[in-house]
Structure 1
Amino acid sequence: MAALSLSRKKNASRNAAVERKNLITVCRFSVKTLIDRSCFETIDDSAPEFLNFASILEQILSHRLKGQLTWFGYESPRSFWDYIRVACSKVSHSCICSIENMENVSSSRAKGRAWIRVALMEKRLSEYITSALRDYKTTRRFYDDGAIVLGEEANMLAGMLLGLNAIDFSFCLKGEGLDGSYPAVIDYTPYLKFTQSSDSISSDEEELRTLGSSGSESSTPENIGPSFIMDENTWYNKCKRVEQKYRLALEQKGYLEELVRLREGQLSDSVTQNKLLLQRIKDTELNHKLEKEQLEYIIVELQDQLKSFHRFGHLSADASLSQISFDPGHSQDGSAKHDSSRLSGGKEDTPSLLGLCGSLTSVASYKSLTSLKSSECLASPTTEMTSPGLTPS
């Protein structure tokens, strides 16, 4: 068991060393591509070379970064900006305070990405990294053993970044590149391209042709001669070179297949999120439609209630006016005057007029207009004259 644990530790340390070396190598390639690109155009957020460089630098500064311990003993993730903010606080005329006070940048990762862009525009990225690495106490406090910033690769990193001072960068600090919600992904595809001369291609083809036809040619006795007899070392070297090239092509094929699988996974996640967003939009539209129908129904009900209220108020006002105009005192005076006018003029009141006057004296008969046509509201002249309210004085 002890030997197994020791071998595991050796494998882990070897893998960590390979990871550090690969990151530094890829960073050197990215700096070279940036310098080559700057000879033709200005570098901004739209340049894929810069996006790849920013992702590489972010992973280098985040390599084996310690988490932050909470009050409950849990370790929460931390961004490299927390280290840069403390380690570069003593740099004169630094941009740390201005980035810390930016309103449109809230997360720690977004502030770190903004710092990379501002430092490149100031042509002081190498100075910031060098100053941070000199503060070994702070660096040791933020990083675990085996980190790039704690090894010999850190000095190489500061020297590589010095060549970026010759490039004029132009960035906008309000774009999607500052969004701290997505991780930094390195694209290794541009660094897999390699050129091969025609001489090496012809030599490879010749080696493959020789290896393929060696068995058939050696079996014929007429082809055996001093010019075709090769020693064992030459055959071994040729086979070794072909095997190395085959392994290299196989590794590149495996990487490209892994990259395709990664892109397919990202595409499937995007399709799933798109479906969820479309379903959420449909549900929202349906809820808005139901709320609109409910509001329209409530408005119609309120309009009906308002119309009935106005009608009831109008009828109440008319009923009060009818009661005031047809009270007993007024009716007696009116009947006396009417009798005197009838006596003087010789005109008679018709039964329908008397029935109308009788129906207006009550609110219930006033509300129903059909009572005006009924025979109950019509009275004869003899009954009208004998009624108490219409008795002549």
Structure 2
Amino acid sequence: MGGMSEPKAAPNDTIYLCNFRVSVDGEWLCLKVLPVYYVSNNFPPTPELEKTTFYPNYPIGPRERDPVLIERSNLVNISKLVVKEVIDSSMKFGRQLDSDHIPLQHFFIVLEHVLRHGIKPKKGLLGPKKELWDLLQKVELLDTEAQDITASVRDLPTVRTHIGRTRAWLRLALMQKKLADYFRLLVSQPQLLSEYYEAPALLRSEEAYVISALLVSLNIVDCNLCVKEEDLDSQQGVIDFSLYLRTKRDLGEEDVLSISSGGGREGGGSREGSTAEGADENMTTVLDQKNYIEELNRHLNGTVSSLQEKVESLSTSNALIKEDLNISKDTIEKVQVENKRLRAELEKYRNIERMAEEEIPLIRSRVSLVQSSYENGMKELSQEFRVRLQQEMVRREEVEEEMNKQENIKKEMEITISHLEKDVSEKKEIISTLKGQLEDIKCINLEMYTKLAECEYEISQKGELVSKLEAKTKEISTMLTNLNNVSAECDKR
């Protein structure tokens, strides 16, 4: 962790600082080393120790000593600094950020730790392990725009592990400028998060909305990341916090800058040229800030609308709970009245029981007499009941035989009905085919009728032509006879 941790420490050791408190002072990161006995639960701290370890972002109390809460707050503060450094570097250089950009690498490391904070461990040796890639794949069910990047990550040949696919997915979402929207969709699904995260996880806490707002600010940053050329399956690097720590040298430079700014007011005429040259740069920064504020305003409007919906649902549930409370009060009053009534009846029954206990000897004597008479009567009636029982058994056998016959008849009827149904279905099919054939015959008859009418019409026309031709032949024959006569007369002359 810069100059404070060993260089071979794992990423988890550089992020989850249980023995440190992290706070933000303006644009600087402040770390405070906590004593060992402050973290321990066996020795409570003294008031002097509470006073020396006090920070504005960390209220003193038993709850704030929980390492999980300290890790969560540290991640939020580090995320603020890293996101600010990414935005400042992008605005300073005025170009697209690539994979070699150090603050961008820090951002992906911190974001990975944010997503992995509080994830449920593997249950048992054979139990399934919760992976971030499984959670990110469900984003495409919530937003259709995530289907393209999810499919692209699945088809990457250079990525083979779940954590590598997770890192590739985060980089593509950042280039798509939809990372904040996807993160907000995940945060708005508490049931889905409960399957993958423990209760004190960062994504299931209020700090998740802070991370979501920070991710919205990255929509003004343009990134050009080549996912295929990166080794995403291997372990990520360590964050160098020296970029974010304030040193004594920085404090001295701030004092010098303040003094120089005071002297610069006297020689302001000489700096007018430099301010004119930086006007364009200020304009670009103002436009970038404007775009950032608009994006942040859009995100805040979405969160406000969701919070309003939650408030309305809570108000309706509160009204329903009040109605249920009134109903329960009424039922309690009714139950109390019923309890009093039952107690009065119980007292009555107890009095009756006491009186019955006093009358038991008389009742026993009467019962003995009744029992003796009953036994005599039963002996007399037993023979009659035996005869009736035999008759009833015979009747029962007859009825059972009749029932068996009826059941056999019923089975035969069912079989015949099934056969009839099959015959009816076959006949229906035959009728349908006959109807089709009848329709075809009707069409053929109609065509024959039309052809017959046309033939009759042609025959009538041809008869007319024949009559005309016969008339012409008669005329020609008369003309021929006339000519013959004329030729004969000419020959005679």
**TM-score, normalisation: structure 1:** 0.45
